[in-house]
């Protein structure tokens, strides 16, 4: 609780370490550790979920719909935040299972590119906040250099951004982040001393 309390005053630069994502990140890290230890990812996800996989996929769509609906309504009444967060938590776990099953079923192969991605994946997981925040901050600076202004309340902004600026900014930020992040992570893990832990 102390960590969550201290992180309540995070700035934009520490966005991925906000109180909401910290609990989720820790839960998934521990879950991933258990999954590896017990070989859960070595077996088919579809054989482990206890229901037909198409039903899980339908549940993910329903959970996402409920989450979006409730978050949308929460602007009118705060009471909608509770079901939105509950649906969001269930969605996060179920969507992760659906994605794992999809990749096990349709993308279970290896070539030079997938080996590169696999080698760098853990380092990407660790260092991605620096790149996401850095590139997003650069987009904000470029956007504001054209005479626009984004008002911040700690790490949040309710400033409306008109036109294609959001779409282009999101797309450019994602592409640039990926182009920088993956090669950097692959090279970083090759450094002496880091090879064994990354």
Q: pLDDT by residue (tens digit) across 62-110?
A: 999 999 999 889 889 989 988 988 898 899 889 999 999 999 999 999 9
| All residues at 6 or more sequence positions from 152 whose CB lies less than 8 Å from its CB, including other chains | 12
> Does the global pTM surpass 0.95?
no
Beta bridge partners of 153: 156
> What average pLDDT score do residues 53-64 get?
96
Share of the chain above pLDDT 70, in %: 89
Kindly tell me if the per-residue pLDDT of 121 is higher than 70. yes
Share of the chain above pLDDT 90, in %: 50
> What average pLDDT score do residues 13-41 get?
74
Number of other CB atoms surrounding residue 198 within 10 Å: 20
pLDDT computed for residue 12 by the predictor:
41
pLDDT computed for residue 18 by the predictor:
52
Of the candidates 35, 33, 4, the residue with the CA atom closest to the CA atom of residue 17:
4
pLDDT computed for residue 103 by the predictor:
92
pLDDT computed for residue 27 by the predictor:
82
Of the candidates 56, 41, 68, the residue with the CA atom closest to the CA atom of residue 93:
56
pLDDT higher at 164 or 64: 64
């Amino acid at each position: 609780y102390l960590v969550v309390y201290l992180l309540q005053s995070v700035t934009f630069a520490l966005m991925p370490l906000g109180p909401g994502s910290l609990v989720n990140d820790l839960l998934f890290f521990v879950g991933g550790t258990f999954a590896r230890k017990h070989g859960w990812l070595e077996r088919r996800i579809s054989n482990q979920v206890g229901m037909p996989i198409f039903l899980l996929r339908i549940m993910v769509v329903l959970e996402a719909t409920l989450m979006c609906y409730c978050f949308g309504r929460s602007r009118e009444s705060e009471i909608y935040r509770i079901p939105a967060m509950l649906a969001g938590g269930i969605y996060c776990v179920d969507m992760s299972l659906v994605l794992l099953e999809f990749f096990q079923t349709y993308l279970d192969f290896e070539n030079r590119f997938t080996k590169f991605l696999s080698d760098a994946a853990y380092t990407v997981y660790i260092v991605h906040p620096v790149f996401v925040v850095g590139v997003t901050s650069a987009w904000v600076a470029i956007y504001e250099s054209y005479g626009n202004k984004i008002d911040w309340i700690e790490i949040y902004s309710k400033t409306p951004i008109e036109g294609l600026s959001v779409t282009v900014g999101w797309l450019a930020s994602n592409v640039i982040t990926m182009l920088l992040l993956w090669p950097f992570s692959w090279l970083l893990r090759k450094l002496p001393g880091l090879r064994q832990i990354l």
